[in-house]
Structure 1
Amino acid sequence: MSHSYAKFLILLIVSTIIIEVSIAGGEGSLKKEDCPPACDYRCSATSHRKPCLIVCNKCCEKCLCVPSGTYGHREECPCYNNWKTREGKNKCP
């Protein structure tokens, strides 16, 4: 099994778990220890991975929710969606 194929399978498994958790529980249903894998998937498609992970984990720890997918779906987590920067932009990725 190639290294990239193994990484793909791990990412697929983690994303499936995250989607199941977010559908089953909704906002506030995650535990703090669920945040790193949820944010790892949420930030997997960005070229700014490190800053995305830092902010996503901070948002997840506050809201105990991360929207499904790598982009969008913010309506799944109102706390995550409504947390804004001083400039009024979305704080959470």
Structure 2
Amino acid sequence: MAVHKLFIASFLVSLLLLQLAEADQMTLVVGNAGDSSKLPKMDCSRACAARCQLSSRPRLCQRACGTCCARCNCVPPGTSGNLDVCPCYADMTNRGNQRKCP
């Protein structure tokens, strides 16, 4: 009887460990939405220079873009739009509740 209980307990513990390992792997795959710590760092200066190349105020644009890139580790492609590619970048607002990132 004691061997039977030990077998059941070890089986349940192994199932729990398997579930935790699976959940951790899913976090690595899906975790890009808000947590950029698991991704390699992006070259923000190059990405923001490309994003702000047509801006009427390029220094201001690059400063705001650099802040957003550092927080989100993402810059949408192109010189404007494409905000659906990087939701973190698109959702940042300033004090006036206007979009922060160019």
Q: Tell me, yes or no, whether TM beats 0.5.
A: yes
- Scaled by the length of structure 1, the TM-score of the pair is 0.66
Q: Does 2:44 correspond to 1:35?
A: yes
Q: Aligned-pair distance for 1:41? A: 0.2
Match 1:86 to one of 84, 95, 98: 95
**Partner deviation per Cα, 1:3-32 (whole Å, 9 max, x = no partner):** xxxxxxxxxxxxxxxxxxxxxxx8645614
Counterpart position of 1:50 = 59
Give the conservation status (yes or no) of the 8 Å contact 1:81–1:90. Answer: yes
Counterpart position of 1:64 = 73
4+ residue runs of structure 1 moved beyond 2 angstroms?
26-30
| Whole-angstrom distance in 2 between the partners of 1:71 and 1:62 | 19
Which ranges of structure 1 fall in alignment gaps of 5 or more residues? 1-25
Q: How many pairs were matched up?
A: 67
1:47 maps to amino acid: S
Give the conservation status (yes or no) of the 8 Å contact 1:83–1:92. Answer: yes
More relative contact order in 1 or in 2 (CA 8 Å, sep 6+)? Answer: 1
**Partner deviation per Cα, 1:29-66 (whole Å, 9 max, x = no partner):** 5614x100000000001110000001100100000000
